Amino acid sequence: MNRKPPKSPVRPPTIRDVADRAGVSPATVSNTLSGLRGVTGDRRRAVLEAVEALGYKSNHMASSLRRGQTRTVGIVVPNLGNEFYSGLVRQWEKIASQSGFEILVVASGEDPVTEARRIESLIARRIDGLLVVAADDDFGSIPGFPAGLPPTVLVDRARGHLQFDTVTSDNFDAGYRGTLHLLELGHRDVTLLISSVNHAHLRDRVEGYRRALGEAGIAASEWVVFGGGTVEGCRAAIEQDLRRPRPPTAIFAATFYATLGAVKAINALELDYPDEVSLLGFEHSEWMTTVRPYISAIGQRVEELAHSAWQTLRQRISGEATDLARVLLPFRFAMRESTRPPKSVRELAALEAQRP
C-alpha cells in the first residue's frame, strides 16, 4: 500500500514577507507594529493590510520576556459610559491588537481616591505603562498615591503637568473658535453651557469663549451656565436659561453631556433650532447626523489623540524618549445645520434684499 508522503509544514510569514508585500522596508514594518516611531498615511495602511492578508504574527512574547516586559498597558478613564472616553478605549484596543499588546481598562468614576486604588491594582499586574485620563488636575498628589509608577502618559486632562508626558487638545482654541463662529453669524447673546470649571481643560474652553466675546466688544453679555457632570443637570440648567425674558439666540454646548442636555431642553420647550435658537455641540457622535437638523459640532480627533498618546508611551517604555512630551492637537470643526444667523439678522437681510 502506497502512502503519500506527509506534506511539508507551511512556513509562517516573516517580517520580510510583510515588507515585500507592502512595498516597504522591514524596519518600517517593525516601527509600524511597535509604535516606536510614527509611520502614517499610505505606508502604515499598506503594512496593516499586508499583515492581515498574510496572517503575520510577530513573536513579541519572546523578546518581551527577555526585557522583563509583559506587553500590557493599563488604561484609566473617568467614565466608560461617556462616548468620548469609550471611543478612546476602542482606538487603544485596536492599536494594542495590531502591536501585539494587551490592555487592562479601569474607570475612576471621577474620584482621585478610586483612581489611586485602580492604578495600584494595575501596577500589581506588572503593566509596562499607563495611559491616564485623570480624575482631576492634580494627578498623583493625594496622600497614599501608589509609588513607583511605570511610564505614564496623561491624555486629554493634562495641561502643564510637570512630571508626566502629556497629549491634549487645544481647548482654548475650541472655545474661542466655536464662539467666533456664532458671533460671525450675527449672534450677540450666546450662552456657554458647560459641566463645570473643575478641570483645566474646561476652564480653557471658558477662557476661549470669553476671549472671543471680549474681542467683539460684548463681554458684558457673557452667560456661562453650569450643568454638572450629567445630561439631566445640563438639561435643567439650559432649560432655565432659555426661559429668561431675553433668552439666548445661540447655545454653545461645550461638552458631550452638555450637547445632549441642550437638545433635550430645546425639545422639551418645543423650540425650533436653528430658527429660534442656534446650537453648537461638542465632540463628534454618530447621532448628531441621524437627527435633523444635523448638529454642528467641535470635537477632538479621537483617532489622532489615541495614536499620539500610544506612540508617546511606547517611546517612553523603550527608553527612546528623553524630554517630557507636550503634544497639543487641534480640534475638528463640523459645521452642519443647527447654526444659522439669528432671526433679527435674517429679517434685516430680507429687507435689504427687497430694496430697489
Report whether pLDDT(191) > 90. yes
Spatial separation of the C-alpha atoms in residues 205 and 261, rounded to whole Å: 18
Q: Regarding predicted confidence, which is higher, 29 or 276?
A: 276
Domains observed in the chain = 15-54 (no CATH), 69-169+306-329 (3.40.50.2300), 171-301+333-351 (3.40.50.2300)
Counting residues of the chain whose pLDDT is more than 70, the rounded percentage is: 86
Q: Regarding predicted confidence, which is higher, 3 or 280?
A: 280
Instruction: Return the pLDDT at 158.
Output: 80
| Residue pair 179/213 in contact by the 8 Å Cβ criterion | yes
- pTM for this entry: 0.78
Span 328-350, mean pLDDT? 85
Which residues are CB-contacts of 265 (< 8 A; sequence separation ≥ 6)? 235, 236, 238, 239, 242
pLDDT tens figures, 146-181: 888 999 999 998 876 678 999 999 999 999 999 999
Q: What is the DSSP letter of 221?
A: G
Spatial separation of the C-alpha atoms in residues 119 and 337, rounded to whole Å: 43
Spatial separation of the C-alpha atoms in residues 159 and 127, rounded to whole Å: 25
Q: Which helix (H) or strand (E) holds 259?
A: helix 256-268
Report whether pLDDT(213) > 80. yes
Instruction: Return the pLDDT at 62.
Output: 44
pLDDT tens figures, 235-288: 999 999 999 999 999 999 999 999 999 999 999 999 999 999 999 999 999 999
**Integer CA distances (angstroms), 324 to 130, 146, 153, 288, in order:** 15, 21, 10, 37
38 C-beta neighbours (distance < 10 Å), count: 13
Q: Regarding predicted confidence, which is higher, 259 or 142?
A: 259
**220 pLDDT band (50/70/90 cuts)?**
low
pLDDT tens figures, 88-133: 999 999 999 998 999 999 999 999 999 999 999 999 999 999 999 9
